[in-house]
Amino acid sequence: MKPRLAAVFAHPDDDAYLIGGTLARHAGSVDVTIVLCTSGGNGPIWAPVATRETLAEVREREEAEWLRSIGVPDARVEFLRYVDWHLSEAPFEEVVGRVEAILRDAAPDAVVTFGADGITHHHDHVQAGRIGTEAFHRARAGSELGAFQRLYHAALRRSAMDAYYAAARGRGLPLGDSDTFLNPVGVDDDAIAVDADVTDVYDRKVQAIRAHRSQIGELDRIPLDLQPLHLAHECFVQAWPTPASDGRVMGDLFDGIAAAPVARTTQTSGGDAR
């Protein structure tokens, strides 16, 4: 029986950076549901593949191409299509209700979303994390099927980000620091419950990220030799249940999880909420 993973993020390509290696490693052996609250239509356009009017549609297609590249073309993807950059203005109860319904149907063993830092302070990321966290708890409370065993918040190790900014400063690169809006921020290393070393699929992960052509500047702005500090390990804080106090760090999102015997309907039903 395949373990089931659901992710709740703000934009197409959030998942590529945060769980791409995990999906590549488990390609063909995990059941995946991805909820994207916006289609990123107000994001930058780094390559001549879209206009402002077509960017959201292009980014949805890029998401599909990324999934094929990473090895999970049959993943269920739900585009909620709220307005990019303005997710916090969408009715919270409405969005949570839609995400909860998807999670109930998918009955995942584990759910991943953003934590309070949104990885980069991005307000859409922060709000998607609030939505995903609340939807998880509501869906779990109404489930008697053995699913919803863990909630994870995607994170970066502070030690890795400290090394990144120190290297950038040493080279005189104008990359700012962890307090700069849209720059990555780390959490205390002791808070990390899962540290998935994805160096064995690193090249595949990075190549697949490039399927998000319209957003490729986000990757290319990071010096090539510093990219592994962001991408070679996928780290997570265990938001529920409270992790054991023995300090053990797991190497995979599914460590210690026994897939619950729950079937789900595989479909894509993201409505147009723009």
Q: Backbone dihedral region of 258: left (phi > 0), alpha (psi from -120 to 50 degrees) or beta?
A: beta
Q: Backbone dihedral region of 130: left (phi > 0), alpha (psi from -120 to 50 degrees) or beta?
A: alpha
Alpha carbon distances (Å) from 142 to 104, 106, 187: 8, 13, 31
Residue 125 has pLDDT above 50, yes or no: yes
Three-state secondary structure call for residue 127: helix
* Mean pLDDT, range 153-165, rounded to an integer: 98
CB 3 within 8 A of CB 109: yes
How far apart CA 194 and CA 129 sit, in angstroms, is 18
Query: What integer pLDDT is reported at residue 269 of this predicted model?
Result: 44
Residues linked to residue 112 through DSSP beta bridges, in sequence order: 7, 152
Token pair listed for 239: 């938001």
Q: Confidence class of residue 262 from pLDDT cuts 50, 70 and 90?
A: low
Q: Domain 4-240, CATH 3.40.50.10320 — does that match?
A: yes
CB 17 within 8 A of CB 268: no
Instruction: Please classify residue 261 by burial: count the beta carbons closer than 10 Å to its beta carbon, then call 0-12 exposed, 13-18 middle and 19+ buried.
Output: exposed
Residue 72 has pLDDT above 90, yes or no: yes
* Mean pLDDT, range 53-61, rounded to an integer: 98
Q: Write down the mean pLDDT value for the chain.
A: 94
* Mean pLDDT, range 195-219, rounded to an integer: 98
DSSP state of 187: B
CB 62 within 8 A of CB 83: no
* Mean pLDDT, range 146-165, rounded to an integer: 97
Where is average pLDDT lowest: 21-35, 39-53, 196-210, 249-263?
249-263
Q: Confidence class of residue 265 from pLDDT cuts 50, 70 and 90?
A: very low
CA dihedral 154, 41, 99, 233 (to 10 degrees): -20
Residues linked to residue 9 through DSSP beta bridges, in sequence order: 36
In the chain, what are the domain boundaries? 4-240
pTM of the predicted protein model: 0.94
CB 33 within 8 A of CB 6: yes
Q: In what order do the strands lie in the sheet with 31-38?
A: 76-82, 31-38, 4-9, 110-114, 150-155, 233-240, 194-197
